[in-house]
Amino acid sequence: MAHEVVVVGSVNADLVVRVDRRPGPGETVLGSDLVTLPGGKGANQAVAAGRLGGRVGILARTGDDGNGALLREALLAAGVDVTHLLVADGPSGVALITVGPDGDNSIIVSPGANGRLTEQDVVAARELVAGAAVVSLQLEIPLVTVAAAARAAADAGARVVLNLSPAATVPSDLLALCDPLVVNEHEAAFLLPAADPSDDPATLATALLELGPRSVVITLGADGALVATRDGARTVPSPRVEPVDTTGAGDAFTAALCLRLARGDDLESAARFAVRVGAAAVLGEGAQSSYPAEGDELPS
């Protein structure tokens, strides 16, 4: 296969500022100097998988601005195939990120060129999608484009991984292609509005499987992840680390999961590797800049 992982998703410039505390409504607080870094859930996953040694391609759109050039260079530096990194008139996507003292972040995304990635772009990139072992999708691009990419991947025999972020309602026929559907606890609750907030992750996973995906992964932050199939659910603990910045850690997890699935690991084994990569990703500032490279020692 031409690529182990193909990502169809977003590329953003991350505008990051650190704060001692987040402002309340109508309040102003002082923060650190503003830093501009390459990001976007799609680009993050492509870079993370590329840095881990994967053969990775991406289908995405930047704008024709300076941020677009920054994003392209970051992907190239990670060894990602950018043949299908398209350029649209206007601004690239931007994420406004505040990072608190505990390393947790709050994010607002302005889609920019990401909103102009179309079903026709998927058709034009059909050879890229068809040549992948795993196609990774997220929801920072139009849902119709995500659905088209999922169908094209499934028709070609590729494994479809959907990270339901940001949370949105998706059609049942898209959920049925997911193997796995990757969500955090907030995204799981969005899909399961009738669920009890006190339900444990295994109960949530069982309910999610009833919606149609072939398998489910619920990320649990510092507690690792839970993987679930029709045969049952298992918790995969994360190494204990002191987080510096959690921005992009979920993308690092998903990228590592996709890469190991592409190489033939079962879901639980892939998740055991992915939680270690996710833990490594919180030890540095920013998203892509904190991702481990192939051969780096990972937390255990």
- Taking the CA atoms of 287, 289, 292 and 297 in sequence, report the sign of the dihedral they define: negative
103 known member of a binding site: no
245 known member of a binding site: yes
The size of the chain, in residues, is 300
184 known member of a binding site: yes
222 known member of a binding site: yes
**E strand intervals along the chain:** 3-8, 12-18, 35-39, 56-63, 81-88, 93-99, 105-110, 132-137, 159-163, 178-184, 216-219, 225-229, 232-236
State how far the Cα of 47 lies from the Cα of 18, in Å rounded to an integer. Answer: 23
43 known member of a binding site: yes
State how far the Cα of 136 lies from the Cα of 3, in Å rounded to an integer. Answer: 12
Q: Which of 251, 265, 266, 296 is catalytic?
A: 251
251 known member of a binding site: yes
131 known member of a binding site: no
42 known member of a binding site: yes
Which residue(s) pair with 5 in the sheet?
56, 134
| Helical packing angle, 249-262 and 41-51, nearest 10° | 50
- 251 included as an active-site residue: yes
130 known member of a binding site: no
Annotated binding site for ATP: 184, 219-224, 250-251
Annotated binding site for K(+): 245, 247, 281, 284, 286, 290
Residue numbers in the known binding site for substrate are 12-14, 40-44, 140, 251
Q: From the annotation, which residues make up the binding site?
A: 12-14, 40-44, 140, 184, 219-224, 245, 247, 250-251, 281, 284, 286, 290
The residues assigned a catalytic role are: 251
